[in-house]
Structure 1
Amino acid sequence: MERARPVRETPTRAGDTGDTRPPHHRSTVKRLKWPSWLPIDPYILLLLGTVGLAALLPARGTGAEVASGASTAAIAFLFFLYGARLSTREAMDGVRHWRLHLTVLACTFVLFPLLGLAARGLEPVLLSHDLYTGLLFLTLVPSTVQSSIAFTSMARGNVPAAICAGSFSSLVGIVLTPLLAAALLGGTGGGFSADSLLKIVLQLLVPFLAGQLLRRWIGGFVARHKKILGYVDRGSILLVVYTAFSEGMVQGIWHQVSPLRLGGLLAVEVVLLAVMLAVTWYGSKALGFDRGDRIAVQFAGSKKSLASGLPMASVLFGAHASLAVLPLMLFHQMQLMVCAVIAKRRSRDPEADPEPQSEQPLSQDPAAGSRISVGTGTRSG
């Protein structure tokens, strides 16, 4: 008869679930949400699915009117939430680092638009008029907040600087993007007018300011329910995309786009992103910024916000918004993929600090609800 083997007791710590699997096996359960090796952002898949739905079942007649009204209300509510989330005090705390913030603002609202204007020579040989208008609009929208913070943290850069730079860009973009559009898009036939500027003020700026004014009373609620409200953000943007692309299908403007034009647009955007990444990295070095600040400048100064750009395009372009936002949608996915690779390489830099800076809450820019890989998990960006 075999003698029973003694059972070895393993000491447990508080919070131990008793799972004896190796750590890398235990962590795989969390990764089942979205495989980190897939190059496509899951929210981009939702956006593409929404475009497909609009192509198959576009809103017409009364349905189009209902969708347009709901989209207008969703845009206003979206910017109201932006105002309620954005801590003006936190943004103003970064004024001490004014050189860095001015550098990021110059990249976002000066250098980007100049490159967009330079691309006018590609029309109509490589880009159609509508695609060029969308490309120019892409260069006018503000930078992202969440993804800039996440990539800066991953690369072990100056996270507080990234928070302030992204916040400043979003804050300034509410006013400056419409003004730049009035100055630059008017000459391209982009449909910008005084009426468009009034719509921007009423649908975007007024709700944003209302959110800022009410933040004292509702800021806590918004912070406690940020996950649920994040789904509201994403749903609102999907509704805007569906309405815009439905109008485009009804108007028949998609027949104007050929695969060759789309290929040309992708090539132009690859060059645009490469130029901005190089200028922000080497330019900030020439300005005397240290490594941590250069990382913040590169990630905050080279990206564009899909969350801010889509609602603005819907107001500015109306039925032509579908083609106008196409360059921004493509650029958004491209910047996430490229910056993720760069951030991982920066984290292995011998000059990097042994430990990354503490990660800040990524709740200030819904940034279209994208998912980006950070360390062993995912975050919205």
Structure 2
Amino acid sequence: MKIDLIAGARPNFVKIAAILHAIKNSDKKFDYRLIHTGQHYDHNMSGSFFSDLNIPLPDITLESGSGTQARQTASIMTGYEDLVSKKRPDLCLVVGDVNSSMACAITAKKSNIKVAHVEAGIRSGDLSMPEEINRILIDSISDYFFTTSRKATDFLLNTGKSKEQVFFVGNTMIDTLRRFEADFKKPEVWDTLNLKNTQYLVLTLHRPNNVDEVSNLVKILHIIGDNSRGLPIIFPVHPRTAKILNSQKLSLKNVFFTAPLSYLEFNYLVKNSKMVITDSGGITEETTVLGIPCITLRNSTERPETVSIGTNELIGTDSENIPEYLDKLFEARWKTGGIPELWDGKSGIRILEELSRL
């Protein structure tokens, strides 16, 4: 079977790494090409992942770059269409819910190439999120579905997919997390600020309803800073958010901005933090497995198991809710989380087993 493995944005590389390592250690032969769409082109957003995660450089880079949703999607689609017209795979495997995955899935399907979706069946119910639209589109046309939870599996079966198409394999993000946990490394900011274990918080924000309105973003930062009991807050700033913050003259005594960190550096910060505050879905999976308290500044989540089983609390987008949960943290009233089923570091192996059978 000839397989195209599609990656383009930071979360993609973490997920695809699990499959690449499983292929490397498999006694079965897989003919694949790794395609980097170029959706993330900043070194720390994608380039460093190849060395950090010990995965091969892409066989092909489409160099789509940035742009509006439509322009970026169109660039990826035309680039991938040219590629498959010259050399067709038997299967296009996409991971997650970014534009790269959606664009290549649609292009492959229109070229009569079968599509497999890793991390299929998850839903937030929030159509204001571009990722939610991408999930719906990818799942509506895919031929095979690899899920991270029984809830996602049941959702797909209840929407008409057959048992022969849907495979509950666990979470490839966790494969990569566990594989490289011993290799996490201190970022420069650790020594610069003289950070201590569990004596700081990590913050990540990038969703439009949190960062597009400058006054709202500034309010969030002030509320977190004012209620963190003097602990430093480390904020690796997404390029999207950096553009907004650079236009402001902020006075925040204990909020420290850094450039995007590599995978190994960022997860070193997460693993040793007291808490993570985020609007990212993937980070809530990692904090759940690492046992780190997490606050999610969103009204819904496509990863409900991080709340029902894990260490995550979904508190909405009203920043006035933040102090209550920080009080719970500092008063040692945070819940004890568990690890969801099959988040055991073997998801990539299970995916290959199913692909071999197919």
Task: Please give the range of the TM-score, normalised by the shorter of the 2 chains.
Answer: under 0.3
User: Which TM-score applies when normalising by structure 1?
Assistant: 0.24
More strand by share: 2
More helix by share: 1
Where relative contact order (Cα < 8 A, 6+ residues apart) is larger, the structure is 1
User: Which TM-score applies when normalising by structure 2?
Assistant: 0.24
Return the index of the structure with the highest Cα Rg. 1
